[in-house]
Amino acid sequence: MCDNFLFLTTEFHEVKRIKFRRILLMLLVLFNTVLSGGCQTRTTNGAEPPSSPDTKAPDTRPPVWNGVPGEFKSAMLGVLRPGEPFVVAAAGAAQGTVAGSVKMQAVLIKGDKQLSKAVFFNLGEVSRRGPVIAAVMAVPVSAGAGRGILRIEAGGRLLNSIEVTIEERKYVTETFSITTEMSDILTKPDPEKTRQAEQLWAVWARTGDTIYTQGDFVMPVNSTVQTSVFGIKRVYRYPNGKTSNSVHTGVDWRAPTGTPIFAPAPGRVALAMNRITTGNTVVIEHMPGVYSICQHLDKIAVKEGDIVQAGTRIGDAGATGFATGAHLHWEVRVATEYADPMVFLGRKVLDKEAILAILNE
């Protein structure tokens, strides 16, 4: 019995020692965990400690493009006045959902009337939300002042809308007396004239994907005499006493026959031909949907497909087509709408830096 008692007593003490060692080990582990956790989260003054070399601090900067579009954002740059250009830009999730077969477009609406629209193109820049797309537009000459809506659409789906205000712009009126020959150019039916008009419209209506310039246009002729301004209302008085009205879609500069005419900005020659109404004509594509047109030239010095720089000689001034004398008629089309060429001088219409600054906000 004593032996059994001694065995039981010894066993009891051994169990106690084992339990004590286990408890002690658990306490040591717990103590080390608390110490290590406390050292990582607080210093003696309660401030956040510097990160250890093996621990990466959380990045609080705005996310950069990693192949997944961020939050969709759109913006408009420019002032909305009749005959002046402006830019709409966008980046983000909605743009990422648009496949190549689905075109995004910007549409300017006033009341229940669509004023203008333009297709987006790749700007060739990346914002923190993803690749940037842009559309260059112009307010029509005939647009009145007031509030409007700028809609951004894709495949018939509305992605965003921006409330805008169209400012007022006033134009003066001038009257021209024209000859019988000039009257025939305007009024006489001619299938070739119709074909040429359709051909020119097809050029204007094309929105490519190449950006030859962001802007910074220069004067295409060395002249100090402007004989007609953009948007002026013209009244043509015919030999029979009748009249018709039109809007001057460009600017006229006095230039004697043979005066060199230059490309106002880098671009590609999209059209170079003799037309019934505009005479020898050169059309230059500067950026998607933006074209310069130089008319009534005496000679053409370039051909379709040529790449030109600002200041490249494209021809000589003349009085071909519907013209009352030697001069240069220079106009700019933006997404098929007439725009004031003088607004483009010394100005970046497509300012990539400004666009990125807004979309990165």
What pLDDT digit, counting tens, does each position of 256-300 carry?
999 999 999 999 999 999 999 999 999 999 999 999 999 999 999
CATH number, span 73-169: 2.60.40.1930
Backbone torsions φ then ψ of 127, nearest 5 degrees: -95, 180
| pLDDT value of residue 93 | 63
Inform me whether the pLDDT recorded for 82 exceeds 70: yes
| Minimum mean pLDDT range among 7-21, 89-103, 191-205 | 7-21
Cβ neighbourhood burial of 52 (10 Å; 0-12, 13-18, 19+)? exposed
Share the mean pLDDT of the chain: 81
Cα separation, 261 vs 243, whole angstroms: 32
Q: Other CB atoms closer than 10 Å to residue 50's CB: what's the count?
A: 9
Cα separation, 157 vs 263, whole angstroms: 39
**329 token code pair:** 């008629």
Q: Other CB atoms closer than 10 Å to residue 22's CB: what's the count?
A: 10
Q: Under CATH, what is the fold of the domain 173-344?
A: Glucose Permease (Domain IIA) (2.70.70)
Domain ranges of the chain: 1-42, 73-169, 173-344
pTM to 2 decimal places: 0.78
What pLDDT digit, counting tens, does each position of 106-132 carry?
999 999 999 999 999 999 999 988 899
